[in-house]
Chains A and B, each alone.
Chain A
Amino acid sequence: MVRRILKYLYIAAVYLVLYVPLLVTIVFSFNNSSSADIWHGFTLKWYESLLTDKSLINSALRSLFLAAAAATSSTVVGTIIAIALHRYRFIGQRVVYGSLSVIMLSPEIIQGISLVMIFVILGIPLGFVTLLLSHTVFCFPFVTVTVLARLKGVNRNLAESGADLGASDVDIVRFILIPLILPAVFAGWLMSFTLSIDDVIISFFVGGKEYEILPLKIYSMVQTGIQPDVNALCAALFFATFVVVMLSYRLVRAKR
């Protein structure tokens, strides 16, 4: 019994550690003072001042748009690669497999540096395009791996019986495989969205001044001190993301 209680206390403590900074951000977004450590009573003034801070709101919207775009493109790229790895045999297949886990395990700084160098050499101006490409590069392996795991669970006979009934390869993918892997595709999208929203380092290298996303804006504000309207923004973003993800999760669940 005591062991059970200790176990639950331990689990609760770890979650507390993970959530305390979030809670602090949310709580201090209602703090009637610009100090970030002492509670001075409830206010909504930071939310009001946030509404007037166009550049902050714009950077948040850019972040969200980038994450949605990057999640979508990495889902497309990752799913195509997963299906190709599953259905085709080709030269370099093992290299592709191997690179997937190397990309997933390599620290962001290595990817950030190498990508910024290729963009500069190729003369691609740093901005939305480079951010989108880079985020797609570090997210797509997670989609590929998730979709591949699902494809492995699809009975091989299903594709064969499709072929037997006259379906071409393209038809098999369209009518049989894609409907069956849809949950994994969605999970991959969500994973990519999460990774993209959370990224700092790669964006730091490949991002440009014309398309400043939220973490980079905040990073540039750290030295001068951050106003609590940033807390308000983060709290609002957190709830917005939470609601959107839960709704879409529900939607997918209901369709299944």
Chain B
Amino acid sequence: MLKSTDNFCRQAVLYFIFIWFGIMVFAPNLLVLLASFLSRDPVWYLRLPLNLQNYAALSDPQLMSVILKSLNLAFCTTLFCLLIAYPFTYFIARFAKEYRALFLMLIIVPFWTNSLIRNYALISILSENGLLNTFLIKWGLISQPLKLLYTDLAVFVGMVYTLLPFMILPLYAVLEKLDLNLLEAAEDLGAGATAAFFRVIVPISLPGITAGCIMVFLPALTLFYVSDILGAADSAIVGSVIRDQFVVIKDWPVGAAINIALTIFMLFLLHLYYKSGNSVDQEQPIW
């Protein structure tokens, strides 16, 4: 028998949660799903009849080539981020506790300057007279400035730079909790240091690896402003296509269809994530 105010509070809070999730989380996504089956309307954006035409548009060869190129970029970005982030995170997770907080804070600090601005700053580094070319010429490594800016390579660099923290933070969450005794136990049981690392540490950190890969791979498909700022005219990624469908062409149904395809892909990755052991439990921050 709860007090009536307690009961009222409970009811109020639960209604609030249902309404919040209903309107702000479920309804928008269901609307996108619905829109992907509707037809284009020049004034109201959407109208009946229901059809599957929008999904057929996905097979357009021009769109397909953009998607494949974008997937390739996202894959390379993810792999590169993982290779850089893993040893880095492993090292800082081993520091004494009071330093760890500082090192972690140092990763967050750059976020206080908007990522678009930071990407814009990359122009000064990558341009023909930029910092990088200046240094390379000064050190005699190259004689002619390299064409870096407005290439696919520049987009790749921008993506790695922007998304590296999103690989580091989930990895940190698992590696911080790692029990060093496990490594010692493995070595005690006769595993070499390398074997111990790959057979003990890597499997245990798998949830962090998958979470990090999801948090890098999906944005690498969609951060259209990175390719806008650093890329060439043909450096479009999946995100640019979706943006154009909504903002330029104003074809909501096709944009929604691409969005749904992306969502399904995301759910597939999430499924892999939960299958990967999910030892980063739901209530732990993964970053």
The answer to whether A and B touch in the complex, with CB atoms under 8 Å apart, is yes
Say whether B225 contacts A219, CB under 8 Å.
yes
Q: Contact check: which of B45, B115, B125, B219 meets A120 at CB < 8 Å?
A: B45
Give the residues in chain B near A230, CB-CB below 8 Å: 117, 120
- Indicate if A183 sits at the interface (CB-CB under 8 A): no
- The binding surface of chain A is classed by DSSP as helix
Stretch at the interface among B63-71, B103-111, B181-189: B103-111
Chain B residues with Cβ under 8 A from A146's Cβ?
A: 285
Contact B10 A21 (CB under 8 A): no
* Stretch in contact with the other chain, from A43-51, A76-84, A154-162: A76-84
Using A7-B91, A11-B92, A109-B242 as known contacts, say yes or no to A237 and B113 having CB atoms under 8 A apart.
yes
A122 shortest CB reach to chain B, Å: 9
Q: Is the CB of B283 within 8 A of A149?
A: yes
Known contacts being A113-B255, A194-B108, A215-B114, is A36 close to B284, with CB within 8 Å? Answer: no
Contact segment of B53-61, B136-144, B195-203, B262-270: B262-270
Cross-chain contact B87 with A10 (CB below 8 angstroms): yes
Contact of A21 among B28, B45, B88, B122 (CB under 8 A): B122
- CB pair B114–A113 under 8 Å, yes or no, is no
Residues in B with CB closer than 8 Å to A37 are: 123-124, 127, 129-131
Interface string of A128-152 (1 = CB under 8 A from B): 0000010011000010011011001
Give the most central of A14, A102, A107, A169: most B CB within 10 Å.
A107
Contact of A24 (CB < 8 Å), options: B20, B87, B124: B124
Given contacts A24-B125, A84-B13, A114-B31, contact A201 B114 (CB under 8 A): no
Contact call A22/B121, Cβ cutoff below 8 A: yes
Q: Decide: B114 and A214 in contact? CB cutoff 8 A.
A: yes
Q: Establish whether residues A168 and B110, one from each chain, have CB atoms under 8 Å apart when the complex forms.
A: no
Interface residue? A197 (CB, 8 A): yes
Chain A nearest CB from B209 CB (Å) reads 14
Specify which of A10, A36, A170, A241 is in contact with B112 (CB 8 Å cutoff).
A241
Q: How far is the CB of A153 from chain B (nearest CB, A)?
A: 11
Decide yes or no: A169 and B225 within 8 Å by CB, A18-B165, A84-B14 being known contacts.
no
Once A14-B88, A22-B110, A88-B13 are accepted as A-B contacts, the answer to whether A218 and B255 lie under 8 Å apart by CB is no
Q: Looking at the assembled complex, report how far the CB atom of B25 sits from the nearest CB atom of chain A, in whole angstroms.
A: 6
> Could you give, for residues 214-256 of chain A, a 1 whenever the CB lies within 8 Å of some chain B CB and a 0 otherwise?
1100110010001000110010011001100100000000000
Q: Does A57 contact B (CB under 8 A)?
A: no
Interface residues of B in 233-279 (CB under 8 A from A): 239, 242-243, 246, 252, 255-256, 259, 262-263, 266, 270, 273
Choose one: B28, B91, B282; the contact of A97 (CB below 8 Å).
B282
Q: What residues on A are CB-neighbors of B20 within 8 Å?
A: 77, 81
Query: Do the beta carbons of B131 and A168 come within 8 Å of each other?
Result: no
B229 within 8 A of A: yes
Say whether A88 contacts B45, CB under 8 Å.
no
Please give the distance in Å from A37's CB to the nearest CB on chain B.
4
Does residue A52 face the partner (Cβ distance < 8 Å to B)? no
Interface residues on A, range: 35 or more
Task: From the candidates B31, B242, B270, name the one contacting A121 in the complex (CB within 8 A).
Answer: B31
- Cα distance A114–B88 when bound, in Å? 36
Contact A234 B222, beta carbon cutoff 8 Å: no
Q: Which residue of B lies closest to A216 (CB)?
A: B116
Q: Given contacts A10-B87, A105-B270, is CB(A18)–CB(B107) below 8 Å?
A: yes
Considering the complex, give the chain A residue whose CB is closest to the CB of B88: A14
B residues within 8 A CB of A114? Answer: 28-29, 31-32, 259
Q: How far is the CA of A21 from the CA of B111 in the complex (A)?
A: 12
Cβ contacts under 8 Å, B255 to chain A:
113
Q: Are B225 and A200 in contact (CB under 8 A)?
A: yes
B191 to chain A, nearest CB (A): 20
Closest 8 CB pairs of A and B: A114-B28, A21-B121, A169-B6, A107-B218, A109-B222, A241-B112, A118-B28, A37-B129
A-B contact pairs, 28 of them (CB 8 A): A14-B88, A14-B164, A24-B121, A24-B125, A25-B117, A77-B20, A80-B16, A83-B13, A88-B14, A98-B282, A103-B25, A105-B215, A106-B263, A107-B221, A108-B219, A110-B266, A113-B242, A113-B259, A114-B28, A114-B32, A115-B24, A170-B5, A194-B108, A197-B113, A198-B112, A218-B114, A241-B112, A245-B112
